[in-house]
């Protein structure tokens, strides 16, 4: 599929800043579900060059609060039909996801997760150590002789899907409906008149807009600065690595909250290792040796065969972290400026629901109930949605 190089128009009904998954999905649903096709997606680099093309591709719905379970469940269901809807092959593969516990507090945490999920109809079960070994015999149950596995929450529908295919699938479908996807255009300012956002300033000049959506991932504080607003977001680097290809031996996704690590094997045979965010805030996408050494050592504690493999590559993305580890999405203090943000280390799996519901908000002006808990002003109202325990490696 090719992106057509359309001429930049002087004005659009909606301008979307950022050609990652969230921007592209919103553009698609605006056109498909709400008939709004005079839409431009402006991407300063190439589409999918941000977090959407750098993530570790895990899809799951096993969250821990009622608000987030409902939200990610809807996304998971939309993902299930996405290849057909967009007519694009995305190599989705159901793997089953373990959340291992190596300590009594984590054991309690994972039991609670299973019960909470079951209450909301999400398929998660608690497994004791013996059952974990039966389902995934590749795990070293001694945890490298240091941290024995005591049990796990097991989420059978947990899946992986090709990340770049998701963004290209949405882009192609949106373009077929009339949306303009424009790469190599940077937004450098916002035009705000009387408290209302009426356009953007780009490195190709100003563009008028009926509504503007910021979907710039880890760079949202730049857009907030242009708008003169403050957001409770701190951007942190998140690193990952893959090994050279190996025989297909690991058909599950295995996360350990105590070891702060998760491991899966891609369709190409690479063993993929992800971990927690770097502890410092930065926009740097430079990968580091301390991360490589430490993440590899922890992965080897769970899967000793990984010690034999060479590292193929390592990379970094920027994550827009919120204090409660939940998204920050909705209207802002500036009229007609919408923000899709706070996607941190968990935003890839949220792309379909966030795109669909953000499109609904822009088109109707009414906040969809599934988005309401994640409003930008929730910290002012003391209504945090605490999800730290579900953020991959915590």
Ligand X SMILES: Cc1cc2nc3c(=O)[nH]c(=O)nc-3n(C[C@H](O)[C@H](O)[C@H](O)COP(=O)(O)OP(=O)(O)OC[C@H]3O[C@@H](n4cnc5c(N)ncnc54)[C@H](O)[C@@H]3O)c2cc1C
* Contact footprint for ligand X (CB under 6 A): 17-23, 42-45, 49-52, 54-58, 186-187, 215-217, 219, 238, 240, 274, 317, 319, 343-349
Comparing CB distances to ligand X, the nearer of 128 and 186 is 186
- What is the C-alpha separation between 225 and 229, in angstroms, rounded? 6
Q: What is the DSSP letter of 304?
A: G
Token digits of residue 1: 């599929």
Comparing CB distances to ligand X, the nearer of 252 and 349 is 349
Comparing CB distances to ligand X, the nearer of 27 and 216 is 216
Comparing CB distances to ligand X, the nearer of 68 and 107 is 68
Least distance in Å: CB of 389 to ligand X?
16
Least distance in Å: CB of 310 to ligand X?
20
Asked whether the beta carbons of 171 and 165 are under 8 A apart, the reply is: no
Least distance in Å: CB of 340 to ligand X?
6
Provide the CA 201 distance to its chain's centre, in angstroms.
27
Comparing CB distances to ligand X, the nearer of 116 and 354 is 354
Least distance in Å: CB of 14 to ligand X?
15
- What is the C-alpha separation between 314 and 192, in angstroms, rounded? 41
Residues ≥6 apart with Cβ < 8 Å to 109? 101, 257, 389
Q: Please classify residue 159 by burial: count the beta carbons closer than 10 Å to its beta carbon, then call 0-12 exposed, 13-18 middle and 19+ buried.
A: buried
Comparing CB distances to ligand X, the nearer of 19 and 107 is 19
Least distance in Å: CB of 81 to ligand X?
18
- What is the C-alpha separation between 235 and 214, in angstroms, rounded? 15
**Helix 163-176 / helix 351-364 crossing angle, nearest 10 deg:** 30
Comparing CB distances to ligand X, the nearer of 62 and 150 is 62
Least Cα distance to 39 among 371, 364, 362 occurs for 362
Least distance in Å: CB of 318 to ligand X?
7
Least distance in Å: CB of 146 to ligand X?
25
CA dihedral 82, 85, 87, 88 (to 10 degrees): -20
Comparing CB distances to ligand X, the nearer of 54 and 150 is 54
Q: Please classify residue 284 by burial: count the beta carbons closer than 10 Å to its beta carbon, then call 0-12 exposed, 13-18 middle and 19+ buried.
A: exposed
Least distance in Å: CB of 31 to ligand X?
17
The 3-state DSSP class for residue 115 equals helix
């Amino acid at each position: 599929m090719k992106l057509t190089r359309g001429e930049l128009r002087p004005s659009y009904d909606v301008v979307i800043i950022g050609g990652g998954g969230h921007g592209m999905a919103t553009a698609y649903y605006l056109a498909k579900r709400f008939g709004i096709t005079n839409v431009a997606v402006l991407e300063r680099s190439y589409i999918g060059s941000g977090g959407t093309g750098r993530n570790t591709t895990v899809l799951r719905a096993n969250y821990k609060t009622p608000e987030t379970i409902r939200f990610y469940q809807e996304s998971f269901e939309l993902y299930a039909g996405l290849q057909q809807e967009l007519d694009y092959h995305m190599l989705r593969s159901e793997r089953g996801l373990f959340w291992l516990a190596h300590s009594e507090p984590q054991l309690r945490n994972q039991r609670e997760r299973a019960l909470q999920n079951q209450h909301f109809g999400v398929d998660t079960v608690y497994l004791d150590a013996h059952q974990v070994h039966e389902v995934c015999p590749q795990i070293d149950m001694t945890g490298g002789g240091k941290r024995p596995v005591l049990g796990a929450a097991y989420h059978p529908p947990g899946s992986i899907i090709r990340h770049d295919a998701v963004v290209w699938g949405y882009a192609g479908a949106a373009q077929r409906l009339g949306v303009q996807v424009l790469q190599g255009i940077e937004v450098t300012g916002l035009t705000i008149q009387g408290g209302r956002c009426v356009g953007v300033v780009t490195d190709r000049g100003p563009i008028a807009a009926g509504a503007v959506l910021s979907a710039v991932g880890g760079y949202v504080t730049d857009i907030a600065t242009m708008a003169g607003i403050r957001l409770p977001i701190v951007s942190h680097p998140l690193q990952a690595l893959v090994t050279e290809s190996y025989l297909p031996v690991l058909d599950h996704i295995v996360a350990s909250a105590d070891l702060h690590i998760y491991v899966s094997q891609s369709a190409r045979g690479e063993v993929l290792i992800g971990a927690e965010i770097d502890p410092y805030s930065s926009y740097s996408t430079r990968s580091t040796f301390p991360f490589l050494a430490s993440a590899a050592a922890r992965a080897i504690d769970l899967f000793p065969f990984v010690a034999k493999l060479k590292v193929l590559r390592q990379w970094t993305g920027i994550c827009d972290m919120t204090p409660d580890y939940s998204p920050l999405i909705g209207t802002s203090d500036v009229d007609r400026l919408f923000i899709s943000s706070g996607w941190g280390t968990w935003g890839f799996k949220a792309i379909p629901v966030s795109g669909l519901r953000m499109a609904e908000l822009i088109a109707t002006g009414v906040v969809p109930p599934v988005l309401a808990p994640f409003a930008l002003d929730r910290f002012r109202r003391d209504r945090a949605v605490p999800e730290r325990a579900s953020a991959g490696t915590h």
